[in-house]
């Protein structure tokens, strides 16, 4: 088999890039996957999700705020933000009540982090969005209703 210079450069260049990325740990096991909370994401109701999280009944708190539009024109991309003013916030979980799998996201914080997250969720219908926050070892919760219009025409 005959190889020309261009083929040699393609093969050796690709191998060099792969080798460099591997040496930097790019292809190593991701430690974040070790913390995957599968049972939290598979729960189908608020009660099941809280039970999987090990929460009996979180307290309501005015120190939590969910920011989102009251009416979302496109349920495929609904912006949702959660901010906590509770001291020592360790975790924020966002759940959408009427989604097939309620858990939309989990965010864990270091003590120096600002507990304020933004994400986009998919909502098939109007629903309550819940935020569960763990702060100083205790759990707190708040919710907000978001109405989803169908095609921007109302629903």
Kindly state the helix (H) or strand (E) to which residue 135 belongs, with its residue range: strand 127-135
Mean pLDDT calculated for residue range 131-151: 90
The closest of 86, 88, 87, 82 to 65, measured between CA atoms, is 82
Domain boundaries defined on the chain: 32-148
Tokens 């609904």 belong to residue? 78
Percent of the chain with pLDDT over 90: 47
Strand-strand pairing, 138-148 and 71-72: parallel
Specify the range with the lowest mean pLDDT, choosing from 3-17, 39-53, 114-128: 3-17
Percent of the chain with pLDDT over 70: 73
Buried b (16+ CB within 10 A) or exposed e, 76-112: eebebebbbebeebbbbbbbbbebeebbbebbebeee
Q: Is 38 left (phi over 0), alpha (psi -120 to 50) or beta?
A: alpha
pLDDT at 87 over 90: yes
Residue pLDDT, tens place only, 24-57: 555 555 555 545 678 888 888 888 888 988 888 8
- Give the Cα separation of 95 and 103 in Å (integer): 4
Q: Which residues sit opposite 143 in a β-bridge?
A: 130
CATH node for 32-148: 2.60.40.2470
Question: Distances from the Cα of 33 to the Cαs of 8, 38, 106, 118, in angstroms?
Answer: 37, 10, 13, 21
What pTM does this model have? 0.72
């Amino acid at each position: 088999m005959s190889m020309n210079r261009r083929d040699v450069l393609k093969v050796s260049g690709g191998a060099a890039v792969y080798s460099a990325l591997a040496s930097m740990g790019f292809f190593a096991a991701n430690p974040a996957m070790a913390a995957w909370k599968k049972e939290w994401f598979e729960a189908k109701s608020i009660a099941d999700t809280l039970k999987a999280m090990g929460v009996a009944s979180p307290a309501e708190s005015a120190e939590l705020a969910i920011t989102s539009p009251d009416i979302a024109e496109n349920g495929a991309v609904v912006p949702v933000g959660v901010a906590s003013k509770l001291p020592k916030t360790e975790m924020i979980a966002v759940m959408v009540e009427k989604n097939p799998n309620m858990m939309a996201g989990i965010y864990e914080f270091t003590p120096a982090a600002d507990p304020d997250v933004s994400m986009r969720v998919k909502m098939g219908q109007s629903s309550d969005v819940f935020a569960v926050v763990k702060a100083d070892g205790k759990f707190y919760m708040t919710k907000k209703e978001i109405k989803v219009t169908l095609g921007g025409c109302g629903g």
